[in-house]
Every structure is written in C-alpha cells, then in structure tokens.
Amino acid sequence: MPNIKLIIEYDGARYHGWQRQPDVPTIQGELEEAVFKITKERLTVVGAGRTDAGVHAEGQAAHFKTKARLTPDAWQRALNSLLPEDIVVLTAQKVPDRFHARYSAVGKTYRYRILNRRYRPAIGRRHVWTVYLPLNMRRMRAAAKTLIGKHDFSSFQGSNHSARTAACTIRRLELVKRKDEVVLTIEADRFLQHMVRTIVGTLVEVGRGRRNPGEMAALLQKKDRRFGGPTAPPQGLCLVKVVYK
C-alpha cells in the first residue's frame, strides 16, 4: 500500500487547528475530505504536529497510506484542485512504509512575528502579534540565550499537555529586528503544547521590563507553568519546516 508524504502550506486563521474536530473546519479534516473525494477511502492524514487554532504553516509535513496508485504529481494536482484556497500541497512523494510524519521527525523550526509599534496594522494583522510598548532587544536576546540547549520546559507548556516528558533541546533561538517587526526563529528536536507561544510571551515581558533576563534560568528550574509568562496569541506563529533524517 503506497505511503504518501505531503508538505503543506496553510493560513490557519479560519481553522480550529490541525486536528480533525466535529462540526468545525480543521486542516486535517479538509485534507482527509479531499483524499476521500479522490479515492473514496476514509483514511487518516497524519501530521507532524498539531498546530493550534489560528497558527499557520509554510512546511507542515503529513503522510497517509492508500490503495490508490496515483503518481506524486497527480496527487499534488488532484489535492490542490479540491482544497480551499488557504491550504496548498507544496510537494507529494512516495516514501518507505516505515516513514511516519510525526515519529520520524527529528526536529522542527517555528517562526513568530511581533509587530512592535504604537498602532495596529491594517494589512497582515492575521500573521503578527502587535505589541504597542517598546521592546528592549538586548534584554530579550540575553534571556533567550538561557533557553538554548537541553532543558525541562515544564514552565513553558500548556496546562492541558499530554507529553510524557518535558525535556526538549533547543538548537537555535534567534531574535531579529526588522524595522518595526521582531522575528523570533526557534529550532528544537521537539516542542511541547504552547511551548513556543509561552516562550514568546515570557520574552516579551523581559523586553518590556517586567522580568529580568536572569530570571529565565530560575524559571526553568521551577518546572511549573504558573511561573511562566503569558501565552502569546496564535496568529504570529508559523511552522516553517519539519526535519527528517
């Protein structure tokens, strides 16, 4: 039975996240409905990660197994002809049977965009978090350095988490200022629920002077979400790519 891997781009603004849910639009639901129209098979499209409601992706990975014998190019064309305009299959390919979009992944890269100015945007507002007070980049970068490496990120995970362990290794965490936009790029072997958004919310508190950069080490040691910063809103977050061996 062919195993098909997809790389998908989507604007998550009008979706209730990746995971299929009854009576509301989701990315997984749209993909599975498109596959059903092609194959008449009710199957599961497995994603590399479950992005939250309102979160976007440039390089989400997924796979599904099917009896259909279409070529990869035919899969891409057929799916894109059926999917809504805010979901696009960038690539389709046949992969070994053992490939699993989630469990075969060895890392992911996310990007978070902050618009830092005194007035809201009219264009692109569904893709940034507007922070109106000035942010101190030097303080934010100093705090971010503390998070690089392998740590227990319990203080940065969602309250409804189901992860067996909170240990993650952040390989890269960069903050770049481009005019009035702050772009955070983070790469790790794995991420906990709401981890990136909570890191962003905490770094923004540091940038606004509500926390000291040196508090980040103590926050990691507490291993308690109650001590972390607020969870940043979803619209600024984008899954850039999923890394496989």
Q: What is the pLDDT of residues 131-152, one digit of tens each?
A: 999 999 999 999 999 999 999 9
Q: Which of 52, 97, 152, 224 is catalytic?
A: 52
**Distance separating alpha carbons of residues 65 and 63, to the nearest angstrom:** 7
155/87 same-domain check? no
The answer to whether residue 70 scores a pLDDT higher than 90 is yes
In the predicted model, what is the mean pLDDT of residues 90-110? 97
86/149 same-domain check? no
Judge whether 224 counts as a catalytic residue.
no
**Distance separating alpha carbons of residues 3 and 5, to the nearest angstrom:** 7
User: For 21-46, what is each residue's pLDDT tens digit?
Assistant: 999 999 999 999 999 999 999 999 99
Nearest CA among 208, 58, 226 for reference residue 139: 208
Question: Pick from 61, 95, 129: which residue ends a domain?
Answer: 95
Tokens read off for 67: 């009896």
Q: What is the pLDDT of residue 161?
A: 63
In the predicted model, what is the mean pLDDT of residues 182-198? 97
21/87 same-domain check? yes
**What residue type is assigned to position 111 of the chain?**
R
Question: Pick from 65, 95, 125: which residue ends a domain?
Answer: 95
**Distance separating alpha carbons of residues 157 and 223, to the nearest angstrom:** 10
90/121 same-domain check? no
In the predicted model, what is the mean pLDDT of residues 73-91? 98
- What range does the domain containing 158 cover? 105-244
Total structural domains in the chain?
2
Nearest CA among 238, 196, 241 for reference residue 101: 241
Q: What is the pLDDT of residue 219?
A: 95
